[in-house]
Homo-oligomer: A and B are copies of this chain.
Amino acid sequence: MKIGVLTGGGDAPGLNAVIRAVVRKSLLFGHELIGIREGWRGLLDNLYEPLDRNSVSGILHRGGTILATSRTNVYKEKDGEARVIKNMSENGIDALVAIGGEDTLGVAAKLAKSGVKVVGVPKTIDNDLNATDFTFGFDTAVNIATEAIDRLHTTAESHNRVIVVEVMGRHAGWIAAYAGIAGGADIILVPEKPFHIDEVCDIIKKRHEGGKSFSIVVASEGAKLMTDDNSDQDGSFILSSMKTDAFGHVKLGGIGNVLAEEIEKRTGYETRSTTLGHIQRGGTPTAFDRVLGTRFGVFAAELVEQGKWGYMAALKGNEIVAVKLEEAVGQLKTIDLKLMDVASTFFG
């Protein structure tokens, strides 16, 4: 068989570990491999590169993806599906390994229904993908964020400051919850549990009255902050200075800055914010992410070997298992509230 491999969506540390494992295991099975560049775009536009043992040598510890990536969605392109099927046929590509998140796997699921031989590997740095306990990249992001929080602790303490750290997590608070617990944050704000600005300020004030001179607040970029500055009939509003979405929730991005301003205004404590941004998704993956990526890649090669089209690799406890692509898409995996209970043990 000639197997095409592609990576779609945002990059995540561990992608190269997956690619390397798919290639090496598939070569042992006797197959031929071909790299498809820039996700689904490469299959629509015939962007290929050779993929053999040499091309995956020395990439295990490298961040990013040697195949590059894009957010192109086959079903949003004219005749997308037909072009994919035609290009696969014309280039002798028998099967696909699609490595990506919600969107990439959603395309894979639809293609599988149309008869394309495709298996998946789940990827989301936010860890919010259903059907797998963990995704690679998440552990690396959490460690980077935790190290940043460690650093901010010493500077906050020296200057008697409140510091707000904005981390990744648009729809789920996994990174904030894990990095916040690991970094000893005094408050953790996640999209799953909207917070009132007064609650935040009360915790900080109580803490400072108790003798502490600094506080660390960790917030997901998608955290939902409420206020009643501009009261209306139900007395609950989003800060007017923030852009809000259709549900009255703060729009993504900028929450860290807004929060810092509001805290300083309401408590009088000097407050600064830091947005970690893109450094959370780059660079050398942790050991956990390299092992998980490798196991996913080996498993995906086995799925291809067994002809289990429409399935993807997933982590359940300590084991890698096969789940239907549909199970991974359509619903977010939000953090469990038990985890927030653990976190709030340390608030204040």
> Which A residues lie at the B interface, using CB under 8 A?
7, 10-11, 13, 15, 21, 24-25, 28, 38, 60-65, 68-70, 133, 139, 142-148, 150-160, 163, 178-179, 181-184, 213, 272, 274-279, 281-284, 286-288, 290-291, 294-295, 298, 316-320, 336, 338-339, 341-342, 345-346
User: Beyond A61-B184, A272-B277, A275-B275: 10 further Cβ-contacts under 8 Å?
Assistant: A7-B158, A24-B345, A60-B182, A63-B155, A143-B287, A151-B279, A151-B283, A152-B278, A155-B282, A298-B345
Check A283 against B133 for contact (C-beta < 8 Å).
Answer: no
CB pair A154 B278 closer than 8 Å: no
Sample of 9 A–B contacts (CB below 8 Å) = A28-B345, A64-B157, A68-B158, A133-B317, A133-B318, A144-B151, A145-B287, A148-B279, A154-B282
Complex interface: chain B residues within 8 A of A319 (CB): 338
B159/A295 in contact, CB under 8 A: no
The answer to whether A142 touches B63 (Cβ under 8 A) is no
Contact call B182/A290, Cβ cutoff below 8 A: yes
**Complex Cα–Cα for A336 and B281 (A):** 31
Distance (whole angstroms) from the CB of A13 to the closest CB of chain B:
8
- Which of chain B's residues have a CB closer than 8 A to the CB of A156? 282
B178, A291: Cβ atoms closer than 8 Å = yes
A320 to B181, CA, bound (A): 15
- Each complex incorporates copies of this chain amounting to 4
Minimum C-beta distance from A123 to chain B (A): 12
- Pair A346/B24 contact, Cβ less than 8 Å: yes
Which of A60, A133, A159, A275 has the most chain B CB atoms closer than 10 A to its own CB?
A: A159
Determine the distance from Cα of A15 to Cα of B147 in the docked complex, in whole angstroms.
Answer: 19
B residues within 8 A CB of A24? 345-346
Let me know if B151 and A291 touch, CB within 8 A. Answer: no
Say whether A11 contacts B151, CB under 8 Å. no
Q: Which 8 A-B pairs have the closest CB atoms?
A: A151-B282, A64-B154, A63-B154, A151-B283, A64-B158, A182-B287, A155-B282, A11-B158
